[in-house]
């Protein structure tokens, strides 16, 4: 608990704070999102590949995990205390999971992936424990990590996902990171079709985007 308090304090002190106002993803939308198929999601480039390890300890290529499905992939780390950061990503992805379970035909086309950018702490075992809080037994949600910074760095670079470890005064890693929330919507051809951050991530818009791609 003491370590967690320390982590939270460091994060609040060192990064831009959005925690005092809950992100829209925690509530209901204040507008009617554009109808499914009424708009275009232009390609934002190729989704990068990389070497990852799932919560069972099995190694995969990221593209192998994409499996020609529509993929919703969020970068997280399990110790993230910023309510509008990783917890928001997991919260909204859990809502997406619930909706997909209600629409199994669509659900079969979609895979959720939570990828940790903290290989030092987020081992497969830790990811498995984290997944217990979010993943339903019959859903397709993969929780993956990497073996080390060596495998992680090119993935972060490929997705332009910036994160900065926060260090203590003695130079040791505090366990917290500065980062900007990013969740990526990837189509069956492994192209990024939308990027969501804290101000933009909401189950209704994400689901409409998924349906727009699926259609």
Partner 1 sequence: MAEGSSELGDFIMKIHLIISFCFLSLLSALSSADETCMSPYMAKIEGQEDFVYIWTLGLEGVGDGQDKLVTVDVNPKSDQYGKVVASLSVGGRHEAHHSGFTDDRRFLWASGLDSSKIFIFDVYSDPSNPRLHKTIEDFVEKSGGVVGPHTNYALPGRIILTGLSNSDDNGGRTALVEYTNAGEYVATHWIPTDKDLRGATKSGQFADGYGYDLRVLPRKNLMLTSSFAGKNNYMRELSSVMGDEQAMQQFGNTMVIWDLHAKQPRKVLDVPGAPLEIRCAWNKDHNYCFTSTALTSKVWLVYEDDQGEWQAKAVGDIGDASKIPLPVDISISKDDTRLWVNTWNDGMTRLFDISDPFNARQIYEKKIGTQVNMVSQSWDGSRVYYTSSLLSKWDKQEPAGPDLQYFKAYEFDGQKLTPTFALDFIAEGLGAPHQMRFGAYALHGVKAASR
Residue ranges that bind partner 1, judged by CB under 8 A: 4-5, 8-9, 12-21, 24, 26, 29-31, 33-34, 38-40, 42-45, 81, 83, 87, 91, 95, 98, 160, 162, 164-166, 178, 180, 182, 192, 195-197, 199-200, 205
Q: How far is the CB of 116 from partner 1 (least distance, A)?
A: 19
Q: Between residues 29 and 59, which has the closer beta carbon with respect to partner 1?
A: 29
CB of 53 to partner 1, least distance (A): 26
Q: How far is CA 181 from the centre of its chain?
A: 8
CA dihedral angle for residue 37, residue 214, residue 195, residue 125, rounded to 10 degrees: 150
Least gap, CB of 13 to partner 1 (angstroms): 6
Residue with smaller CB distance to partner 1, 56 or 189: 189
What minimum distance in Å lies between the beta carbon of 57 and partner 1?
Answer: 28
Q: Cα separation of 143 and 131, whole Å?
A: 7
CB–CB of 110/72 below 8 Å? yes
Helices 86-102, 203-214: axis angle to 10 degrees equals 50
Nearest approach in angstroms of CB 131 to partner 1 is 16
99 φ/ψ angles, rounded to the nearest 5 degrees? -65, -40
- In what side-by-side order are the strands of the sheet with 110-116? 59-61, 51-54, 141-145, 110-116, 70-76, 183-186, 192-196
Which of residues 42 and 104 has its CB atom nearest to partner 1 in the complex? 42
Residue whose CB is less far from partner 1, 147 or 160: 160
């Amino acid at each position: 608990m003491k370590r967690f308090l320390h982590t939270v304090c460091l994060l609040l002190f060192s990064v831009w704070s959005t925690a005092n106002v809950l992100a829209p993803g925690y509530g209901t939308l204040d507008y009617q999102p554009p109808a499914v198929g009424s708009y275009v999601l232009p390609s934002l480039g190729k989704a990068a590949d990389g070497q990852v390890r799932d919560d069972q300890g099995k190694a995969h290529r990221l593209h192998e995990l994409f499996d020609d499905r529509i993929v919703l992939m969020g970068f997280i780390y399990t110790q993230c205390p910023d309510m509008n950061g990783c917890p928001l990503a997991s919260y909204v992805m859990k809502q997406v999971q619930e909706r997909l379970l209600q629409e199994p035909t669509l659900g079969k086309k979609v895979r959720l992936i939570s990828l940790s950018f903290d290989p030092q702490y987020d081992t497969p075992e830790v990811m498995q424990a984290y997944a217990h809080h979010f993943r339903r037994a019959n859903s397709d949600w993969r929780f993956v990590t990497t073996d080390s910074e060596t495998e992680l760095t090119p993935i972060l670079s490929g997705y332009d996902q910036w994160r900065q470890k926060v260090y203590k005064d003695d130079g040791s890693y505090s366990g917290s990171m500065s980062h900007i929330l990013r969740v990526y919507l990837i189509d069956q051809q492994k192209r990024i079709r939308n990027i969501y951050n804290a101000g933009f991530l909401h189950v209704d818009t994400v689901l409409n985007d998924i349906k727009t791609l699926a259609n």
